[in-house]
Amino acid sequence: MSAPAPRGMDITAVLQASDAGDAAATDRLLPLVYDELRALAQSHLAQERPDHTLQATAIVHEAYVRLIDQRRARFRDRHHFFAVAATTIRRVLVDHARSKGRLKRGGEQHRVELDPTVDWSGTRTLDLLALDDALKRLHDLHERQARVVELRFFAGLTIAQAAEVLGVGTTTVEDDWAVARAWLGRELEGGR
């Protein structure tokens, strides 16, 4: 069980080296984060329909390119990197869904399971585009609650990890998570 801590420290050290201007640090980062990014992508794709055209490898590569192209992004540590990665993976998935024009053209909707332990008023799957739109509205109302949803769902962070990334206490994250789930449940059930 001691392996994840040094790996996390390695990632943090590489991120800090990259921020300090070490150009080779970017090359060292991908092998350290690839497996975890791929696991995140696979967990989202596992909730998709079987004939989904986007593969986990493509999601990881697109997300990684977007992450390293963010010249102004400074990653404090491993958790912060994966929080930003979660948002980036969300953008890749949403951009892909939008490019298919499913909702605009009335085609098949892109559905994902938000959290199997959450009661979403009788539904366990959500339209990814509807979720993205709802998260944007939530962000406008309460940015931190929207970030909590991203961190918990898209990054797979625990309450404690999300609290660390956001710089707040675990009770705050628990409260935000509960309120955000309830609000999203209403929004996604047509309470707009």
- CB-facing half-sphere around the CA of 14: CA atoms within 13 A: 19
Higher pLDDT, 3 or 191: 191
The mean pLDDT value of the chain amounts to 76
Higher pLDDT, 127 or 85: 85
129-153 tens-digit pLDDT: 888 889 999 999 999 999 999 888 8
48-89 tens-digit pLDDT: 666 667 788 888 888 888 887 765 667 878 888 888 888 888
Calculate mean pLDDT across residues 154-159. Answer: 82
Residue ranges per structural domain of the chain: 4-188
Q: How confident is residue 168, by pLDDT bands cut at 50, 70 and 90?
A: very high
Q: What is the pTM of this model?
A: 0.67
- Closest by Cα among 127, 123, 119 to 100: 127
Query: Quick one: tokens of 134?
Result: 């709802």
- Closest by Cα among 101, 100, 97, 99 to 111: 97
CA distance 63 to 190: 31
